[in-house]
Structure 1
Amino acid sequence: MSQATPAFSTEHDLNTSEQQAFWQTVVQRTLTAADGITLAYMVALHPKAHASIVLSSGRVESYLKYQELVFDLYQQGYSVYALDHRGQGLSARMTINPHMGHVRRFNDYIDDFALFMHKIVLKQAAQPLFLLGHSMGGAIGTLYLKQHPDIFTAAAFSAPMYGIKLPMPKGFVRWLASRLDTSLNGGEPNFVLSGQNYKAVPFKGNDLTHSQTRYQAYRELYDAAPKLQLGSPTNHWLTESLDAADSCVLATAHIRTPILILQASEDKIVDNAAQNLAVSTHCQLKIIAGAAHEIFMEKDVYRNQALNYALDFFKCYVIKDEDKQAV
């Protein structure tokens, strides 16, 4: 009789002594991208892993923000890998102002991820390999799957950035951001209109989560580690990301890797209509009714539902993979 898997963490008891002890065993290192940018990453190797999960986080995020999630995935029997995307988290910035969310080409994110997979993950990860992405990390993951079709067995994306909620029509916003982009003429990148440095928004009225405890823990982490702080995106990031989001919707129709989209019904950050357009033969969608954008830092009722959907989806392919090996 198989052992019951442990329950997920709860918002009512965050940063437990068990989680703290676990995090002391996590490997944290850096690698260098082709253009010299230093990329931070983490590895949590499970001694009896039945599979591995690679995390691709969202804009402004770091793997440090996902300590609770990494712990939960490890407790479920997975080895876990995560990369901080260039220009954010513990990875190097590319702007004089470290608070600017910037990238020269959206494909740089995918190239970095491919380097991480080649240099670190594929050399040690237990198979099968699963991809778990959030928001911008979901867009990066999707385009990685298109360019590298035979690496991951399946992928689950929480509120993937297949479109961005905008105050005005997308075509106009893209045109305006392109016109205002000072980096196109070789200058220093500039914030989008009304953009600013990192600012800790109060919980009341935030667009990310309904869980006050998880939100507070997130803000306390960024206060304690100022290097993690990131403000608004640059105009160049916006034009690159709008184009990448459009590419994701088109890509899902051709990607062979099974994809599960976890859609937050109350999302105010990304465009759910674009996610709906991405549904195809190999791309299914589950709605987390009532959840805001940050599903993995939501109230337990939403977070647990999303994690169960994702892990049940992955387990289907663990079984299939084991069946293949038995033949």
Structure 2
Amino acid sequence: MDKSLMDLTPAPYFAEIAEGPETGQAHWATTDDGLRIRVGHWLPTGDEPVKGPVKGTVLIFPGRTEYVEKYGPAAADFNQRGYAALAVDWRGQGLGERMLADRRLGHVEEFGDFQKDVAAVVKLAKQLKLPEPWYLLGHSMGGAIGLRALMEGLPVKACAFSAPMWGILIPNTMKPVARVLGGLAPVLGMGDKRVPTTTQGHYVETAPFKGNTLTNDPAMYQLMIDQLKAQPDLVLGGPTINWLSEGLKECETLAERPSPVLPCLTFLGAQEQIVNSAAVKDRMARWPGGELDLIDPAQHEIVMEGQETRRRVFDKMTQLFDQYR
């Protein structure tokens, strides 16, 4: 047996809640700084509508609070179009090693630490011999992580983003306060305290479907609720002050850098209320050959909207990827 495969360590994968392809598996990966993260993947079976060799693998970089199983339906959509898919539990969320004793606090020491997770994902994907070429789908916080990874040479042929966190939607008048608070918090021992306006539990645990800021599709919203009820260890609450401070700094740093020379398609919901839509539009206006697709109606979770929206989005993404095989 290939020694690289012998070195793999299986991780839990909750197929009963994922609603993903039957091929779903998960493995542990260890980062250079010694943290354990979880990586899930799904391979087409050959029975999909698209026949022939697998076209490649989509590396899915999830947003804050997310976890592998949430992307089971997305993996099914990619498999049906001939693509394998991979998703990761970043440090501090899902079954990835949590950063604080209170596992419901979303925390990171430095935003650049997520690139160590990216390196571990790439290493594991090579060990698994996931079909090449590779492509990227970055959602929300995963859009910020993914953009930096592209700038630093992530080996993909093309990329797509869904409501990428290239700016955090907070009032401009509050940004200086957030920066000052972020600077003082470590000195005052408050960097690991939750941002006061956020909840201890996951958003879907406390917010009813009516008026939610994630999706217009009740079935997808219920799926998220059911997943977290079934597996409470996946739950993540609000971010810490340090996460917010680091996130704002990362968005500002990325905004100053040129866009990668890489085919790019970005989806943004017309009803977006979580990331800064202006920052997304600004980035795409200066992405050579990039395209911004404004989806109406859609909120933040564009790949978890209704069936027609998802069909449109996955068709368009894979049509882009098809061009760069």
Normalised TM-score (structure 2): 0.85
Q: Partner of 2:233 in structure 1?
A: 227
Give the CA deviation at 1:298: 0.9
Question: Are 1:62 and 2:67 matched, yes or no?
Answer: yes
Superposed displacement of residue 175, structure 1: 2.3
Counterpart CA distance in 2 for 1:261 and 1:50 is: 21
The aligned residue for residue 12 of structure 1 is none
Find the aligned partners of 1:18 and 1:119 in 2 and give their Cα distance. 24
Q: Quick check: 1:268–1:292 contact (8 Å CA) kept in 2?
A: yes
1:81, distance to aligned residue in structure 2 (A): 1.3
Superposition deviation, residue 255 in structure 1: 1.0
Partner residue in 1 for 2:38: 40
Q: Per-residue CA shift, 1:64-105, capped at 9, x if unaligned?
A: 111111111112111111111110011110111111111111
For 1:285 and 1:146, the matched residues in 2 are separated by 19
Query: Which letter does structure 2 place at the counterpart of 1:237?
Result: W
Which letter maps to 1:213?
A: A
Match of 1:155 in 2: 159
CA RMSD of aligned residues (A): 2.3
Deviations 1:214-255 (A, max 9, x none): 10111110111101111110110001111112233333x341
Equivalent residue, structure 2, for 1:211: 217
The correspondence of residues 7-26 of structure 1 with structure 2, limited to 5 A, is 23-26=21-24
- The offset of 1:38, in angstroms, is 1.2
1:120 deviates by 2.7
Q: Secondary structure at the residue paired with 1:132?
A: strand
Please list every run of 5 or more consecutive structure 1 residues that lacks an aligned counterpart in the other structure.
Answer: 1-16, 319-327
8 A contact 1:130–1:155 mirrored in 2? yes
1:290 to 291, 294, 297: 297
Q: Secondary structure at the match of 2:197?
A: coil
1:303 CA drift (Å): 2.2
Does residue 134 of structure 2 align to residue 129 of structure 1? yes
Change (3 A) 1:290 1:113: same
Aligned to 2:274: 269
In structure 2, relative to structure 1, the CA distance for the partners of 1:211 and 1:124 (3 Å cut) is same
Cα distance in 1 for residues equivalent to 2:84 and 2:241: 37
- Distance verdict in 2 for CA 1:163–1:114, change over 3 Å: same
Partner-residue secondary structure (3-state), 1:162? coil
Q: Which of 165, 177, 186 matches 2:169?
A: 165
Is the 1:261–1:284 contact (alpha carbons within 8 Å) kept by the matching residues of 2?
Answer: yes
TM-score, with normalisation over the residues of structure 1? 0.85
- The alpha-carbon distance between structure 1 residues 73 and 18, as it changes in their structure 2 partners (threshold 3 A), is farther
Contact between 2:268 and 2:295, CA under 8 Å: does it hold in 1?
Answer: yes
Assess, with a 3 A threshold, how the Cα gap between structure 1 residues 108 and 45 changes in structure 2: closer, same or farther: same
Residues 1:196 and 2:196 aligned together: no
The answer to whether the Cα contact below 8 Å between 1:250 and 1:278 also exists between their aligned partners in 2 is: no
Question: Residue 248 of structure 1 aligns with which residue?
Answer: 254
Instruction: State the Cα distance separating 1:121 from its structure 2 match.
Output: 3.7
The alpha-carbon distance between structure 1 residues 123 and 184, as it changes in their structure 2 partners (threshold 3 A), is farther
AA in 2 matched with 1:245: C
Name the SS of the counterpart of 1:115 in structure 2.
Answer: helix
CA distance in 1, matches of 2:127, 2:269: 31
Following the alignment from structure 1 to structure 2, what is the Cα–Cα distance between the partners of residues 21 and 289? 26
Tell me the CA shift for residue 43 of structure 1.
1.9
Distance in 2 between residues matched to 1:121 and 1:44, nearest whole Å:
15
Which range is displaced more, 281-290 or 50-59?
281-290
The total of aligned residue pairs comes to 299
Alignment of 1:103 with 2:108, yes or no, is yes
Deviation at residue 185 of structure 1 after TM alignment? 5.5
Which one of 51, 56, 78 corresponds to residue 83 of structure 2?
Answer: 78
Counterpart of 2:3 in structure 1 is none
Partners of 1:25 and 1:260 lie apart in 2 by 28
Q: 2:182 pairs with 171, 178, 181, which one?
A: 178
Cα deviation, residue 176, structure 1: 4.2
Unaligned runs of 5+ in 2: 1-14, 46-52
SS in 2 for 1:263: strand
SS in 2 for 1:317: coil
The verdict on how the C-alpha distance between 1:208 and 1:187 changes in structure 2, with shifts beyond 3 A counting, is closer
Contact kept? 1:95, 1:188, Cα under 8 Å:
no
Residue 119 (structure 1) shift: 3.2
Using the aligned pairs only, state the percent identity: 32
Contact residue 91 and residue 98 of structure 2 kept, 8 A = yes
One-letter amino acid of the counterpart of residue 112, structure 1? D
* Cα drift, residue 179 of structure 1: 4.9
In structure 1, how many angstroms separate the alpha carbons of the residues matched to 2:198 and 2:124?
A: 36
Residue type of the alignment partner of 2:121: F
For residues 102 and 129 of structure 1, what CA distance do their matches in structure 2 show? Answer: 29
How big is the shift at 1:193?
Answer: 2.0
In 2, the alpha carbon distance for the partners of 1:132 and 1:266 equals 20
1:229 and 1:59 map into 2 onto residues whose CA distance is 11
Check the 8 A contact 1:155/1:257 in 2, yes or no: yes
